[in-house]
Amino acid sequence: MAAVTAAQPRSSKTESYVDNKRKEDIRQANIKAARAVADAVRTSLGPKGMDKMISTANGEVIITNDGATILNKMEVLQPAAKMLVDLSKSQDSAAGDGTTTVVVIAGALLKQCLLLLTNGIHPTVISDSLHKASTKAVDVLTAMAVPLEISDRESLIKSASTSLNSKVVSQYSTLLAPLAVDSVLSVVDPAKPDMVDLRDIKIVKKLGGTVDDTELVKGLVFDKKASHAAGGPTRMENAKIAVIQFQISPPKTDIEQSIVVSDYTQMDRILKEERNYILGMIKKIKATGCNVLLIQKSILRDAVTDLSLHYLAKAKIMVIKDVEREDIEFITKTLNCLPIANIEHFRAEKLGHADLVEEVSLGDGKIVKVTGIKDMGRTTTVLIRGSNQLVIDEAERSLHDALCVVRCLVSKRFLIAGGGAPEIELSRQLGAWSKVLHGMEGYCVRSFAEALEVIPYTLAENAGLNRIAIVTELRNRHAQGEINAGINVRKGQITNILEENVVQPLLVSTSAITLATECVRMILKIDDIVNVRDSTMVSTAKYLLSSRILYGGFFLNFLLCLFVFFSKLCFLVNNETIHMQHAHLAIQALL
């Protein structure tokens, strides 16, 4: 990247900036640390980018190309470098894709900022100019974007494929892209056409087969088998399904206690009572016509016992137990039924209906599928398959990116070319704009424009092309008015990238630029790192607490109470004693 070397004549003396050494050092250290993070993920950008193998402390290995995942797993200690990790996370939640791009752009901006700072420009001037440049950049991108109709399935698939192309599982993009589009479109609510809640798409992972066997299931999939106890049914047609949150087991006392029964007749009575209790419950369930039970996992006592499973099997009721609490909402939404929290509320109108619930063998395990649901809610399940856990996990992350891309397009219906085309066009237009700005501002905007060239440079570099030759040609083609010319990494030349079907949502590009700029501005404005020690009050509180834990005793308890009372008093008298408040809160939390 052409560095800004010759300082432009400054318009007035007041704009030049002299800072003291320490502040400069802190700023430089922050920028260098943050750039190191950006450099670490740079090689992963684009379809020909490299993957990273991450080995965690507990021996787990992850192979990924996703910027957010790489950074998330990295052990970053420097506070400014951590900001870049958070930046990637913000992009992940704002757009879902472009998590590497945002960090690479931030790294390039920081490099330019360092040059501007060494040229004596005040950080505030740089920060304000960056803000101005990013606002202009968003305008330019919006003007470049092509509007999209949500019914245009082909274009949606193209952009999902672009996002999948750069992943480890790119060879399966022909399968995963349409799957992502169909699943997002099936959960769009016509009443709120631009809102997509990705929680309505459940991803179930099952080891075995290949990613090619991944399928979209219109219904529910449970990654567990049905209960086989006492030969209970494992397939049910015309299913009437109840989701229950109560236990079909004998009640327990509230407090832990044991009852000793020494008389055999008494014991017989207890067993009989238990049988009657459970039978009574099962009769109530059967009376509503229910023939499939989904039982929520219980921590207080067993949700089902061997005895209740036996009677349920006799009543020809299929049982799927240990359903997770957090899945209940998704299940009831899909089945269009109500969860039942008490046997007294067990009524036929609370049941869900499906054509078939069956246990299927898959690989070396079994799953339960519920299909043909009547009045099914707007949800979908994707069953991901793969030959090993690494592939399955990466397939899930990649599919998440593709789903996010389609979600972006549903909420903001504009497409933009990929392959470095938007960045180089931005760079060109902002470069031209910087010439009409005055003084330092123009100088900073020009640096911003140059920083954006990092994307085409990196795409070319990662694809093993001659970066200077490629980017120069790209710049020329854009200067001649071909705004959609981009780097075709497959052919190794510049082509109209829209014709190559490399498209991405506008939201991904705009949010990458605005978020990266915000983060860089924040780092620029830091001129000191302050380590805070505990105040005397907090230290005293900690000391008292640790002695109490060690020695216990009435006297220490008394002292602690006195301290709490005293700190509360101080807090009441003077609201600003923030240390006192901290000490007080710490004690309350620990007590």
Among 419, 425, 446, 484, binds ligand ADP (CB under 6 A): 419
Q: Which is nearer to ligand ADP, 318 or 471 (CB)?
A: 471
How far apart CA 406 and CA 181 sit, in angstroms, is 6
How far apart CA 304 and CA 580 sit, in angstroms, is 51
Three-state SS annotation for 357-396: EEEEEECCEEEEEEEEECCCCCCEEEEEEECCHHHHHHHH
- Number of chain positions touching ligand ADP (CB under 6 A): 24
47 binds, among Mg ion, ligand ADP, none (CB under 5 to 8 A by kind): ligand ADP
- List the structure tokens of 584: 């007080």
Q: Is 173 in the site for ligand ADP (CB under 6 A)?
A: no
Q: Which is nearer to ligand ADP, 311 or 457 (CB)?
A: 457
- Cβ neighbours for 58, distance < 8 A, ≥ 6 positions apart: none
Q: Is 461 in the site for ligand ADP (CB under 6 A)?
A: no
Nearest Cα to Cα of residue 246 among 316, 344, 314? 344
Q: Supply the minimum distance, in Å, between the C-beta of residue 297 and Mg ion.
A: 36
Among the residue ranges 96-104, 337-345, 375-383, 385-393, the one whose residues contact ligand ADP (CB under 6 A):
96-104
Task: Give me the residue whose beta carbon is nearest to ligand ADP.
Answer: 418
Element (H, E) at 71: helix 67-73
Q: Which is nearer to ligand ADP, 219 or 418 (CB)?
A: 418
In this structure, what DSSP letter does residue 351 have?
Answer: -
Q: Which is nearer to ligand ADP, 49 or 232 (CB)?
A: 49
**Scanning residues 136 to 165, which ones bind ligand ADP (CB under 6 A)?**
162-163, 165
Q: Measuring CA to CA, how many Å separate 360 from each of 222, 226, 237, 356, 366?
A: 10, 10, 14, 12, 6
Q: Which is nearer to ligand ADP, 13 or 491 (CB)?
A: 491
Among the residue ranges 55-63, 72-80, 97-105, 335-343, the one whose residues contact ligand ADP (CB under 6 A):
97-105
How far apart CA 186 and CA 175 sit, in angstroms, is 17
Among 92, 97, 359, 441, binds ligand ADP (CB under 6 A): 97
> Do 539 and 547 meet the contact criterion of CB atoms below 8 Å apart?
no
- Cβ neighbours for 75, distance < 8 A, ≥ 6 positions apart: none
Among the residue ranges 99-107, 246-254, 310-318, 381-389, the one whose residues contact ligand ADP (CB under 6 A):
99-107
Q: Is 459 in the site for ligand ADP (CB under 6 A)?
A: yes
- Cβ neighbours for 427, distance < 8 A, ≥ 6 positions apart: 449, 450, 452, 453, 475
Among 30, 64, 101, 247, binds ligand ADP (CB under 6 A): 101
Q: Is 418 in the site for ligand ADP (CB under 6 A)?
A: yes
Question: 3-state class of 171 per DSSP?
Answer: helix
Q: Which is nearer to Mg ion, 129 or 163 (CB)?
A: 163
Q: Is 276 exposed, middle or buried (0-12, 13-18, 19+ CB in 10 A)?
A: exposed
**Scanning residues 473 to 492, which ones bind ligand ADP (CB under 6 A)?**
487, 489
How far apart CA 459 and CA 478 sit, in angstroms, is 17
Among the residue ranges 94-102, 267-275, 289-297, 426-434, the one whose residues contact ligand ADP (CB under 6 A):
94-102
Q: Supply the minimum distance, in Å, between the C-beta of residue 145 and ligand ADP.
A: 14
Which residue matches tokens 């030969």? 231
Catalytic residue list: 66, 99-100, 401
Q: Which is nearer to ligand ADP, 321 or 477 (CB)?
A: 477
Binding footprint of Mg ion on the chain (CB under 5 A)? 97, 163
Q: Supply the minimum distance, in Å, between the C-beta of residue 445 and ligand ADP.
A: 22
Q: Is 96 in the site for ligand ADP (CB under 6 A)?
A: no
Q: What angle do CA 18, 23, 28 make, to 5 degrees?
A: 100
Element (H, E) at 397: helix 389-411
In this structure, what DSSP letter does residue 304 have?
Answer: B
- Cβ neighbours for 500, distance < 8 A, ≥ 6 positions apart: 419, 486, 488
165 binds, among ligand ADP, Mg ion, none (CB under 5 to 8 A by kind): ligand ADP
- Cβ neighbours for 565, distance < 8 A, ≥ 6 positions apart: none
Q: Measuring CA to CA, how many Å separate 68 from each of 41, 104, 214, 557?
A: 10, 12, 24, 48
DSSP 406-417: HHHHHHS-EEEE
Q: Which is nearer to Mg ion, 155 or 163 (CB)?
A: 163
Among the residue ranges 39-47, 53-61, 120-128, 429-437, the one whose residues contact ligand ADP (CB under 6 A):
39-47
How far apart CA 103 and CA 67 sit, in angstroms, is 8
Site string for ligand ADP, 514-553 (x = CB under 6 A): ----------------------------------------
Three-state SS annotation for 57-70: CCCCEEEECCHHHH
Q: Is 339 in the site for ligand ADP (CB under 6 A)?
A: no
Q: Which is nearer to ligand ADP, 159 or 308 (CB)?
A: 159
Q: Is 456 in the site for ligand ADP (CB under 6 A)?
A: no
249 binds, among Mg ion, ligand ADP, none (CB under 5 to 8 A by kind): none
427 binds, among ligand ADP, Mg ion, none (CB under 5 to 8 A by kind): none
291 binds, among ligand ADP, Mg ion, none (CB under 5 to 8 A by kind): none
Which positions lie near ligand ADP, rule CB under 6 A? 44-47, 49, 65, 67, 97-101, 162-163, 165-166, 418-419, 455, 459, 487, 489, 502, 504
